[in-house]
């Protein structure tokens, strides 16, 4: 039996890498639905190649353009529009596996729909877990959904945990060590970072990724979000999750045990490895990634994170500790600030200033429902926009 897959965010970096892996194994996978946003031409090409039953976009005009391209190519994929359609293809009874690879809070509804429907969920959209951790993990338990992390660090930790981790709770694990490359501005101070351009911030030294996560890597907010993500996925307090700077991005993360052992997962910085791992789990299959040549690499370096010049990391630890809707507020303020930086409205270092301001001003609460999480998200966005308007003036 082939695994039937819905791929949310098919046109993005993770989406393209996922289709690359799937294409290597036509005997194992069948694409049920693909989603995209603005890049309808790429989505059309993907539909023509993979012949999914559905393609989902958010805008009616884009849907018309996509349909025209598909009919011209005699492709029978049906085009659906809107966020409810995203949830429908994520929870359809015909689907076994959902890859959640939409960027940001926009992925929350469809990711949650997949979890609630008990799907095997390949989680790239870390923002949804950061925003709604409690409700997300409750839904996992209730539906029996299997969550497999795609984020390379979390996928590495998943691979290094003992089989008994869930059963006897911890299985001798004492700490999680999250690797961080340090991004393009590793070793810089804040003054030097002030005038950097979006192109410089997006030029990651090791990974080719979408713009938003690339900027997050440059501010180290990405690592902060990953600390929160790891806390939920592996039921660990943030105090037992350390960040280790490792510029080569070969060790993707580590698990420390009470007996002094440290287990690590190594590989090239290529997302096809965690994607193939999660798609094939609990088996293994080829991903197209070359073997690692340790002799050619010859050295691996490590350092402590620079919290003074990269304040976003400490803010994320603070949000994890505060709990409630603090991580959702952190995420919302960050998304607005990153977009403002990409739109050349604020400086790079002002991303952290906006987030810090909102975290100081916002009154946190405990969201009891997804609607409440969305409300906190919306309120934090309004506050962030107002703050950015003031900075601009």
Positions that interact with ligand NAD (CB under 6 A):
9-15, 36-37, 58, 101-103, 106, 124-127, 151, 207, 209-210, 212-213, 271
Nearer to ligand NAD, 75 or 130 (CB): 130
Closest approach of Cβ 108 to ligand NAD, in Å? 10
Contact between residue 94 and residue 32 where contact means Cβ atoms under 8 Å apart: yes
Kindly indicate which of the ranges 104-112, 152-160, 200-208, 349-357 contains the residues binding Mg ion, using the contact rule CB under 5 A: 152-160
Angle among Cα 103, 225, 324 to the nearest 5 degrees reads: 105
**Smallest distance, ligand NAD to C-beta of residue 248, A:** 16
> Which three-class secondary structure state does DSSP give residue 4?
strand
What is 314-334 written as a DSSP string?
Answer: HHHHHHHHH-TTHHHHHHHHH
Output 36 or 224, the one with its CB closest to ligand NAD.
36
Stretch near Mg ion under the rule CB under 5 A, chosen from 153-161, 243-251, 278-286, 378-386: 153-161
The percent helix, strand, coil of the chain (3-state, each to 5) is: 50, 15, 35
CA nearest neighbour of 329 among 277, 289, 271, 387: 387
Nearer to ligand NAD, 170 or 270 (CB): 270
Choose the binding region for Mg ion from 131-139, 145-153, 170-178, 255-263 (rule: CB under 5 A): 145-153
Cα–Cα distance between 158 and 234 in angstroms, integer?
A: 8
377 binding Mg ion? (CB under 5 A): no
Between 7 and 326, whose beta carbon lies closer to ligand NAD?
Answer: 7
The distance of closest approach from Cβ of residue 160 to Mg ion in the complex, given in angstroms and rounded to an integer, is 15
* 245, containing H or E segment: strand 241-245
Nearer to Mg ion, 6 or 155 (CB): 155
Please report how close the Cβ of residue 189 comes to ligand NAD at its closest, in angstroms: 26
Give phi and psi for 292, each to the nearest 5. Answer: -85, 135
Tokens of 355: 């987030």
Which residue, among 212, 7, 239, has the nearest Cα to 110 in the 3D structure? 7
Helix, strand, or coil (residue 300): coil
Q: Does 270 bind Mg ion (CB under 5 A)?
A: no
Give which of Mg ion, ligand NAD, none residue 36 binds (C-beta under 5 to 8 Å, depending on kind): ligand NAD
Q: Please state the closest distance from residue 6 (CB atom) to ligand NAD, in A.
A: 13
Considering the complex, state which of residue 152 and residue 331 has its C-beta at the smaller distance from Mg ion.
Answer: 152
Structure tokens at 75: 């492709």
Residue 155 CB coordination number (10 Å): 26
Choices 148-156, 173-181, 231-239, 291-299 (CB under 5 A): range interacting with Mg ion? 148-156
Question: What does 105 bind: ligand NAD, Mg ion, none (CB cut-off 5 to 8 Å by kind)?
Answer: none
* Minimum distance of ligand NAD from residue 7's CB (angstroms): 9
Stretch that binds Mg ion, among 94-102, 151-159, 255-263, 340-348 (CB under 5 A): 151-159
With a CB cutoff of 8 Å and minimum separation 6, the contacts of 95 are 4, 5, 6, 32, 33, 89, 117, 119
- Does 127 contact Mg ion by CB under 5 A? no
* Residue 229 binds which of ligand NAD, Mg ion, none (CB < 5-8 A, kind-dependent): none
Task: Tell me whether the omega of the peptide bond preceding residue 149 falls within 30 degrees of 0, making it cis.
Answer: no
Question: Contact with Mg ion (CB under 5 A): which of 30, 92, 127, 151?
Answer: 151
Residue 371 CB-half CA count within 13 A: 0
Which CB sits closer to ligand NAD, 12 or 367? 12
| Residue 104 beta carbon to ligand NAD: minimum distance, rounded to whole angstroms | 6
Residue closest to ligand NAD (Cβ)? 12
SS3 225: helix
Q: Do 339 and 211 meet the contact criterion of CB atoms below 8 Å apart? A: no
Question: Distance between CA atoms of 259 and 174, rounded to whole angstroms?
Answer: 9
Q: Please, what is the minimum distance in Å from the beta carbon of residue 167 to ligand NAD?
A: 28
**Shortest reach from residue 137's CB to ligand NAD, in Å:** 18
List the beta bridge partners of residue 180.
245
For residues 26 and 49, what is the distance between their CA atoms, to the nearest angstrom? 12
- What residues make contact with Mg ion under the rule CB under 5 A? 151-153
């Amino acid at each position: 039996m082939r695994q039937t897959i819905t791929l949310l965010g098919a046109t993005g970096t993770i989406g393209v890498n996922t289709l690359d892996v799937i294409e290597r194994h036509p005997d194992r996978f069948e694409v049920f639905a693909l989603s995209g946003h603005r890049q309808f031409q790429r989505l059309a090409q993907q539909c023509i190649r993979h012949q999914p039953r559905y393609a989902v976009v958010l805008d009616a005009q884009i849907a018309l353009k996509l349909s025209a391209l598909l009919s011209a190519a005699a492709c029978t994929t049906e085009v659906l529009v809107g966020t409810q359609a995203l949830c429908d293809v994520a929870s359809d009874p015909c689907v076994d596996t959902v890859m959640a690879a939409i960027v940001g809070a926009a992925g929350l509804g469809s990711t949650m729909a997949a979890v609630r429907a008990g799907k095997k969920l390949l989680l790239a959209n870390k923002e949804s877990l950061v925003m709604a951790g409690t409700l997300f993990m409750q839904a996992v338990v209730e539906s029996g959904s299997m969550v497999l992390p795609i984020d390379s660090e979390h996928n590495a930790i998943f691979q290094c945990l003992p089989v008994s981790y869930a059963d006897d709770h911890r299985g001798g694990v004492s700490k999680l060590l999250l690797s961080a490359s340090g991004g393009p501005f590793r070793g810089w101070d804040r003054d030097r970072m002030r005038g950097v351009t979006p192109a410089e911030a997006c030029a990651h030294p090791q990974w080719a990724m979408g713009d938003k996560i690339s900027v997050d890597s440059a501010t180290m907010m990405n690592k902060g979000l990953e600390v929160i993500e790891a806390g939920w996925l592996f039921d660990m307090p943030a105090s037992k999750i350390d960040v280790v700077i490792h510029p080569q991005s070969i060790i993707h993360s580590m698990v420390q045990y009470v007996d002094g052992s440290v287990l690590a997962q190594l590989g090239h910085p290529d997302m096809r490895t965690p994607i193939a791992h999660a798609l094939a789990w609990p088996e293994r299959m080829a991903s197209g990634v070359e073997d690692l040549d340790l002799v050619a690499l010859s050295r691996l370096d490590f350092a402590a994170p620079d919290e003074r010049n990269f304040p976003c990391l400490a803010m994320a630890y603070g949000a994890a500790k505060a709990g409630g809707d603090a991580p959702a507020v952190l995420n919302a303020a960050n998304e607005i600030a990153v977009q403002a930086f990409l739109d050349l409205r604020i400086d790079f270092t002002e991303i952290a200033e906006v987030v810090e301001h909102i975290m100081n001003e916002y009154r946190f609460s405990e969201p009891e429902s997804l609607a409440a999480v969305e409300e906190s998200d919306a309120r934090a966005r309004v506050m962030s926009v107002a703050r950015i308007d003031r900075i601009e003036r």
